[in-house]
Amino acid sequence: MTRRRRERAAVPDPAAFPTRSYDLVKEFTIALVVVALLTAALAAVFSSPDDRPVTLASWSRADGADFTATAAAELGGTSGTAEYGPPYNHTPGAAQKLGPLGLQSAAGVRIPIDTAEDFVLRPLADAPQPPVVRVALAAWAAAPAARQQAWTKAYSDALAKAPGGDPAKVTGGGFGPVPVLVARLLDMARSGALDGQLQAEGKFYETDYTRPLLFLSDGSYLETLARAQHLGGDQWGMMNETGDYPGQAWLWLYTFWYQIEPFKSSGNADALIWGLMALLSLGLMLLPFIPGLRSIPRWTRVHRLIWRSYHRTADQPEGRDNSPG
């Protein structure tokens, strides 16, 4: 206690230090101009990533088998989106938890998506269709849920066994109207109509890509493209870029946790890492109150490097000069 009092007494009064004028507006203006010039120069020299967009049309043209298998899964409600849970649907047990806290469920279903209805049936129903497709839509609507599930399961299994997943080489039966519906959806996707259907928001400018992107991400085509560009989630950084463009590397800590156990293999990784980062952020905010950690600046003595000119003279017994570095 006595020692602490002595240390406190040794701290000089800040008001006793000499002062000098400092133009904050001038510094802000200089920083703004420098950053603006730097941004313009770097943009002129390096430009920006210029990859062709991946759309439902480009996917269905490049890999019709993958599109067909994904469409069958969307229709049967067995795709990744169909079983994701909140914010898209109420799949039991799908939501991530942080201990007893169901964070994902707490946010609720804010973007309700019924993959069969939204990705397959409504786009087909909203477009002019030949009689065979209209009959297939009516047959699907009239069938009980269990039969619909049996049709899509049988067709998905048959597609998995067909050489190259080619719908033309599927053998067997018991698929109901599924092959007709999925084949017509493939045609619509190849024509580009499905991209427009899934984006339709009733606004002049269509900016919501949630539905087409979810449909795309349920297939393996987009993931294959992403992995080829090291964008499969195993590269450090929150949002990495294509080619040799840098991303947000300074967000490395958030993605670091995904690379190590127990987070790497956990089904609750998102919730656990969010909780961990919230805890670490809280620690950073409360740093001045945490014994030991708050003393790191005094141990590292970086401040003496910044204010080295002051300390050079202040540490001498005489001839004190208080001007900063």
Partner 1 sequence: MAVTGMPRGHALAAPVDLNGTGHYVHWGVIQLSVANLVVIGVMVVVFVLALLLPFPGGRR
Q: Which residues bind partner 1 (CB under 8 A)?
A: 44-47, 49-51, 229-230, 234-237, 240-247, 249-250, 252, 256, 259-260, 302, 305-306, 309, 323-325
The nearest distance, CB 249 to partner 1, in angstroms, is: 4
**What stretches of the chain adopt beta strand conformation (E)?**
none
Give me the residue label for tokens 């493939």: 186
Q: For Cα atoms 124, 132, 76, give the angle at the middle one, nearest 5 degrees.
A: 50
Whether the CB-CB separation of 175 and 158 falls below 8 Å is answered with yes
Closer residue to partner 1, CB minimum distance, 115 or 240:
240
Closer residue to partner 1, CB minimum distance, 80 or 237:
237
Whether the CB-CB separation of 258 and 264 falls below 8 Å is answered with yes
Q: How far is CA 89 from CA 86, 119, 195, 266, 300, in A?
A: 5, 14, 22, 21, 51
Closer residue to partner 1, CB minimum distance, 244 or 315:
244
Closer residue to partner 1, CB minimum distance, 204 or 250:
250
The nearest distance, CB 18 to partner 1, in angstroms, is: 11
Q: How far is CA 50 from CA 37, 47, 244, in A?
A: 23, 9, 11
Please give the structure tokens belonging to residue 265: 């293999």
The nearest distance, CB 236 to partner 1, in angstroms, is: 5
Closer residue to partner 1, CB minimum distance, 28 or 252:
252
Q: From 218, 245, 215, select the one nearest 229 (Cα to Cα).
A: 245
Q: How far is the C-alpha of 112 from the C-alpha of 317, rounded, in Å?
A: 73
The nearest distance, CB 317 to partner 1, in angstroms, is: 23
Q: From 64, 58, 75, select the one nearest 167 (Cα to Cα).
A: 64
The nearest distance, CB 283 to partner 1, in angstroms, is: 22
Closer residue to partner 1, CB minimum distance, 41 or 280:
41
The nearest distance, CB 306 to partner 1, in angstroms, is: 6
